[in-house]
Chains A and B, each alone.
Chain A
Amino acid sequence: MDITELHEIAKQERDRRKPTQIRCCTAAGCLSSGSAAVRDGLEAAVQQTGLEAEVKVCSVGCMRFCGRGPLVEVDPSSTLYEQVTPDDAPSIIAALKGGTATATKGDPNHPFLTRQMPIVLENSGKIDPERIEEYIAAGGYEPLYHVLTEMTPTEVIEEVTKSGLRGRGGGGYPTGLKWATVAKMPPGQKYVICNADEGDPGAFMDRSVLESDPHRVLEGMAIAGYAIGADRGFIYIRAEYPLAIKHLQKAIQQAKKYELLGSQIFGSGFDFKVDIRIGAGAFVCGEETALMHSIQGERGIPRPRPPYPAESGLWGCPTLINNVETYANIAPIIRNGGDWYASIGTEKSKGTKVFALTGKIENTGLIEVPMGTTLRQIVEEMGGGVPNGGKVKGVQTGGPSGGCIPAAFFDTPVDYESLQKLGTMMGSGGMIVMDEETSMVEIAQFYMEFCRDESCGKCIPCRAGTVQLHALLNKIVNRQATQKDLEQLEALCYMVKEMSLCGLGQTAPNPVLSTLKYFKQEYLELLQSPVEDNGKVTVSQSS
């Protein structure tokens, strides 16, 4: 493979494109509401009307408005149809020739769509994730060519550093710095790992990226491999994502066929091979040291750090481990330059972030917004608030490691620092909206049960602490608790937070602590003899 061949593939792909494209989302969300049948129906209708020459029905990835699936988009007219059934298919095709479609028309100018800034999701919903040719036609693998033939590894790292990109798995560690650390380790075997063990309840960003545009992640990993001097990569993905696994397997196969993965890529001296490792269902395997143990075929339990993976990772070798979304940002950064990326976002958090907007909200789905977008814009403008005119109480971010942000703080711009200041975290990008009906104590109880089930059992504060915390929360929810239980709950939270071995235990108390901070009254009302909040911590007294 050389650049002329790559351009030739892109040209052929563009030439065979038909004047009208009917895109049908077949990512997991729409698929589960029956989009495969819709696609088949559309294809049959095209054949029946004899429009094969000018109309192509394509299976594409996520179109964002997951709550209104199955989604169908007609290009070039940009007509969006929502909740399409197979019965609607003939009328959608008829509408191309002036008929009336029976399917509900969506609003392509809805703020949910127009407020988005697709960088990670630029191809999502546009290309067929199972065809590498479409990715190449969209400019794919050109950044990799550029990197391998025109840049030194140091220059690649400089570009990533300049972009200000930070780890999208939630921690927010500067990506360029991480890459530089691994690159500076003595030469020898090194590894690149993509963490696709997305396990937070309500989070589906990484799944959507992998289902909709898997080549983007492979390309990001290859560029990372070149930058740090690694010739092998692993994608650790949870078994609960069968469609993402299928698309990844196909993508790796196709990239190998075109020699975009393998030996001497683009005729350079760079070799890169990617393998998939499938998780067995443990949430803790998203923690990097547990993840590496699991790849090595060992029990997936964390170990103390240091040494960090950059120094001693897979089989003791220096290892770079980044999240799906982080790798998905790399190709655009190389294509458009680090300065371009750094011009988006806030002072310390650059670029965009993908969120999975769910919960008690009108518009459920996937959004990609620039860092610094306020929660109000996300929840009220894009999300459309609570259905049936309810009132928003708060937003939960960061999953079981995060916390709840009350509506009073909705003007906070979303970035790593501001969320941390509010006692929660960016996390991988799950955003669950809660209305006035939601009991915050029950939310805390739910997350604690999750952590209790997912604790690996290695260290005592997490193994036994989450059990006791969950029992205390049950006691409170069942109105059997006293003021003393509440005090014990808080004290144990701090102990588990500070004494646990890995991120799971260290952050498990966060949902409790943040709801105690902002919604203490709800806890007090549930006590055996309810007491009034002494006013020390209430939402109105925001500081």
Chain B
Amino acid sequence: MSVKTLKIDGIDVAIAEDATILQAAREAGVPIPTLCHLDGVTDIGACRLCMVEIAGTPRLFPACVTQVAEGMEVSTNTPKLQDYRRMVVELLFAEGNHVCSFCVANGNCELQDVAIEVGMDHSRFPYRFPDRQVDISHPLFGIDHNRCILCTRCVRVCDEIEGAHVWDVAQRGENCYIVSGLNQPWGAVDACTSCGKCVDACPTGSIFRKGETTGEKERDRNKLEFLVRAREKKEWTR
């Protein structure tokens, strides 16, 4: 396998040619905010937070799905990107009903983290206050669509790792929501194995364990990596 060298925010990096800019940036220790990216599942380039500038082109590129190239000069944190990222996070907060003070993920929420990272202390866009549902029909878990940012991590983790494909996206545009089974209550979906990977994958408090209260949600993120390793290398203990 060939190796490419590139510069990320002035830092030289050498990395395998099939790597993405995001992987190269992590190797170089350059932080790039992400939300839809989750190690272990396919990247979809949807949240647009990881957009970066590449010298020689006026376009912006999603770092998670853009392959590195020899001599590439990447800027990850220009004033324009900072400005746009903040707007993206504001749009996310304005389109759902995100109330940290009584959310299970308070203090343990990637949306909150990203808001802090991009310096978003309030939304300049008016809140939409959409009318969204909560589904607690599953015996162990619940999904609160008010807190959903439609990153589709749950969809991908259930489909690609568990192989159950309980989740998908219904409707379009602002009316999109995460749908379980054939638009059934989650508890009525036979395909669900109650493995809880979606709970661990969810960046916000949208998919949670029943019984957890404000700020109590903790995730077992290492479980994904463990499962992949277990399957590939037959190491079934940890």
Contact = CB atoms under 8 A, between A and B. Distances in A.
The majority secondary structure among interface residues of chain A is: helix
A499 B125 contact: no
B86 to A, nearest CB: 10
B74 to A, nearest CB: 16
B98 interface: no
Interface-central residue, B47, B62, B84, B172, by most chain A CB under 10 Å: B172
Nearest to B88: A460
A312 to B, nearest CB: 13
B104 interface: no
A499 B44 contact: no
Nearest to A467: B174
Given A303-B44, A459-B46, A452 B173 contact: yes
B60 A461 contact: no
B87 A299 contact: no
Contacts of B176: 457, 463
Contacts of A499: 48, 51, 60, 84, 88
A456 B150 CA distance: 12
Interface string A298-312: 010101101000000
Contacts of B62: 304, 501
B95 interface: yes
B124 A459 contact: no
Interface string A264-283: 00000000000000000010
B174 A452 contact: yes
Contact of B46 (A282, A453, A460): A460
Interface in A493-511: 495, 498-501
A507 B150 CA distance: 22
Interface string B92-107: 1011000000000000
A456 B171 CA distance: 8
A306 B66 CA distance: 8
Contacts of A151: none
Interface string A3-33: 0000000000000000000000000000000
Interface residues of B, number: 33
Contacts of B174: 452, 455, 457, 463-464, 467
A488 B128 CA distance: 17
Interface in B133-190: 149-150, 168-169, 171-176
Contacts of B205: none
Contacts of B59: 498
Given A453-B173, A455-B174, A501 B46 contact: yes
A495 B90 CA distance: 12
A103 to B, nearest CB: 46
A492 interface: yes
Given A460-B92, A461-B88, A498-B84, A468 B125 contact: yes
A471 B94 CA distance: 12
Given A457-B169, A498-B60, A499-B84, A464 B91 contact: yes
Interface in A310-333: none
A456 B51 contact: no
B91 to A, nearest CB: 4
B172 A282 contact: yes
Interface in A423-455: 452-455
A456 B173 contact: yes
Nearest to B152: A458
B91 A500 contact: no
Contact of A463 (B84, B95, B125): B95
B237 to A, nearest CB: 37
B48 A457 contact: no
A464 B175 CA distance: 10
A455 B60 contact: no
Contacts of B60: 498-499
Contacts of B83: 491, 495
Interface string B58-98: 01101001010000000000000001100110011011000
B10 interface: no
A465 interface: yes
B48 A464 contact: no
A461 B45 CA distance: 12
A469 to B, nearest CB: 10
A283 B125 CA distance: 27
A465 B174 CA distance: 10
A452 B48 CA distance: 18
B126 interface: yes
B96 to A, nearest CB: 9
A461 B91 contact: yes
A461 B44 CA distance: 15
A466 interface: yes
B95 A464 contact: yes
6 contacts: A452-B174, A459-B45, A460-B46, A460-B91, A463-B95, A499-B60
Interface of B: 44-48, 51, 59-60, 62, 65, 67, 83-84, 87-88, 91-92, 94-95, 124-126, 128, 149-150, 168-169, 171-176
Q: Which 6 pairs from chain A and chain B are nearest by CB?
A: A457-B176, A464-B91, A455-B173, A304-B45, A464-B95, A499-B48
Given A304-B62, A457-B175, 12 more contacts: A282-B172, A299-B169, A301-B169, A455-B173, A457-B169, A459-B47, A463-B150, A468-B94, A491-B83, A492-B87, A495-B88, A501-B48
